[in-house]
Structure 1
């Protein structure tokens, strides 16, 4: 960061090309509200659905979900780019019929992108190449955590319990559909089928019997060329735990919280997560035996360290009917509105939303880019 007395400049980056574009916008609106403008200078940076970077309006209200209308980045706004100079990386604005103008040095990026082309290590790699500090996981941890097939390999190797699954690529499905069906059948029905590199429950469906597998795979392939077919955690309770890195690098964990789904939802799908009229209840903290809660928090910290995560993560579990734990997935950029599970768990643990945002920015400002 510049040695001048100016406030650190934070680029809040949101939107993106993935199917989670709207949820990223909602998250950004909440973070823009929470950042202490007395301590930081904030630049909202939107990435349109076609990949264009624009200088967005600093208007959190526009980034809310309005009924069933989802927000999106205004791709017609002035174009923006990162320009690497000798010792700094600046934000440069390009407007038609106008010479380029610089907004100055970027001290830290708060990347609020969900899904591919943002949460998967691609943006992190670009920021590393540009020498810009950023909030959250690095390239490898982001990529491994986004790809659920590889995530399971890493977590299993770390001795953590995960659901049995098989990976089916679009190429394998087109070449040998019967072989793919047989591999899935060995797991036993019912099965969940999901895009391997997706999020927000987009593209996920439940195959109750073999006749439903084909349609479930086709739905997953609409969002990703690689699908994960996974044993259903029948009777399992969905419980999550937040992980937050301390300034000394250690992984701290929040109280766990449980998701209880109401209405006609068989699982925690997109509507249950984000649409206001749906009947989903969040128990913060979760009603768990002390021994189970302690073990779950230990597993969450181990998962965070196993993938080499930094900054923050939300680790999702199933608490099975016999009391055993199964780790479902790790999210390196979890939903981050004040009503999202991750901030609510930390609020219940003693870190409120503005303090959480500030802590992540301070942590990012203290670490260098490159190998660490």
Structure 2
């Protein structure tokens, strides 16, 4: 699929709030007022009207400032970019609530803003919630939260969208994190105590150095999975103890150390693409491994179970894809230094709907960051614009 170069237009940003009310005993978001749930959104559009809007959301942060969505607005598309309710961070984030946030934005687009067609767009960590949302809207499967508690998803009719686009997106946050977990950590409370140096990727004395053997990679991946399971056991035990003590709404926060230790970053022969060796989307992975800005540093028991646990998390794009009955576009960046190569392919393969397309954008890194990336960003926007036009999802009202 080759995107036709689309003329660029000036666009404007209109801020708006997407507000609903939910009754909850426990407040997971700082400074929430009463029962109000607030999402901070922006409508990006030029002067020409359209009957279609792209709804994008990331679990944390504002996707309206991510590089691709303003570029889509420059092609004349209308984009509603919204935060989830978790604007101050994902320590308490539950994916089931993010799906409710997406539903609020889809209703906002149709009922308040007057759009007839809605396209869900998930960039990076926003991909799996979008696919998970569409699956739940068409064929609901979630009956409780990952922590085994009631969720409003069972009481809410999610309005389905007309198409789904995943853009440089992993299949899920929990599988991505597991790929990144530092396998040398054996003590979650004191990560430098009893560290297994044979699995410390950043220890120069480690006898296992890239290019890594197949046996080492297999052992490393198994230790990552076991570490994820240990943390899940810990979270479940905490909640069980709270409930046994008659305190079912109590929560426990904790730190997960060493979350940027994927062997792919040091060995470009593992799932090869055009990424820069010994580098990651957060810079030097050895520094990012324990950085407070790295993936999943601070969390809580319910959030771990919902976002990060291999055993209990319920939102995974590849798992959801067979239930999605609308056109799907998967865009894979050819030099992605965050999303592992197999993830987009696994999602694409799982889509049962015949109208699906996987497109690789050679040369593009994860954030389209760098002096040489502007042309790749423009090409990505042209591809999206062309695909939407083919499906009558970008035209004038």
Q: Which has the higher strand share?
A: 1
Q: What TM-score, normalized by structure 1, do the two folds share?
A: 0.31
Structure scoring higher RCO (CA < 8 A, sep ≥ 6) equals 2
Give the alignment's TM-score, normalised by structure 2: 0.29
